[in-house]
A and B are shown apart, each in its own frame.
Chain A
Amino acid sequence: MGIGLRQPHYAELLDSLPALGFVEVHSENFFADGGAALAVLQQARKHYPVSLHGVGLGLGSAAGLDPWHLDRLARLVDRVDPARVSDHACFARAALHGGDVVHANDLLPIAFNDASLALMVGHVSQVQERLGRTMLVENLSSYLSFSDDSMREPEFFAQLCRRSGCGMLLDVNNLMVNALNAGVRDPVAHCRAFVDALPMGIVGEIHVAGYCQADDLVIDDHGSRVRPEVWALCAHALQRFGAVPVLVEWDTDVPALAVLLSEAAHAESLSHG
């Protein structure tokens, strides 16, 4: 089981070296040529496997991948030899302002249809070829979706993994956030059905996190403890897929390290349950 390596915990984590299966970082935070953050990551790498989790490739962008971004990611992979490399099934880059391609720096939703699947397959293959390794692609929490989707999301991921050779990073909190925002009658059953619809063998990492309610929308803010229903989904996924690494994500209002470690310990107990 793993936790995110975040700046408020750098010193304490590296001093105490708690028992963890891995630490996770957002790849883009370590794209600089040098500096303190990169030194900390390389120090952590001496003690833990690292999961490089990207938020900026924009794998579903019709405008294509940014070669600069891919070069920086490849350099980081060379530097830390990560256990896993992942990013999201989203778009981020699009042409605006008279043709300039801008980067939204957000995880924007893609349609689930043949055209976007073809885009994703091509871009994931491009990344894997450049890195010389397979990657994992994560399902989004999204606040908007498209009315002309032609396939269900589990089918989209099944085909993406089969055609590109990538794996899936299953975020069970995102499933719950989407189900709640869609107003489905039984969110837990809806999410379990999503998990059950995924082929065996494609899930390479599971994410859990907290969410919050803001007015009439559930926000995937990674700012609190994992909700009981999300833990239950995680347990269900572990039961189905076996001993898959689980990451506890906590990115806003980052708590004391001990709190994060207690969440990771709970994830560990589920994997043995």
Chain B
Amino acid sequence: MTVTLEAPSILYEVEQLPDGRELHVYPDGSIVVSGRAEIRPHPVEGVTWITRTPARTRTRRRPRTTIFTSTLPVRTIWPSESSMERVAARRTAHERARELLLSLLNPFQREDYVHHSGFWVETARGRIRLGRLYNLEFRPREKPYEKQILCVLPVNHKTLPLPDIWTNLLLVLNQDPDRFFRVAVRR
């Protein structure tokens, strides 16, 4: 009995890789890479680095910016107790003012204010809508389809909660409309 043993093929191709390693390609298609890769392969085949890489091809270190360094202390700023107290006080003031205003409105005005944050006030000169600061819509009685924008405010109005401003203007409009229209600025 004769057995023919096929000797493993040792024919294969060897290719130099640009980083200094060798690529072995066997007839069955398998590949093996051997050798040690250079850190920076030379861009021209067959030439190796003699000295350090030129400065312009080296990666440059980015200048440090003070914003992202960890040397700056990182501090989380929570709302201080006093600022939270101020917010709570403002909210309480707003609620008190709103309560007073609602007590001064008639049922129609109250419903309008609750749903639309504004209400109409009837005067001898026409209707005026309170609800938009600095922009009070006025419909003159003689020209109901004409819209005028008025601006009237209580003195030092920024220290008052918004509903108090409407209370102020509502009472003046009801009992002293002449004073209201005398000072009104038309826009």
Indicate whether A and B interact.
Answer: no
**Interface of B with A (CB < 8 Å)?**
none
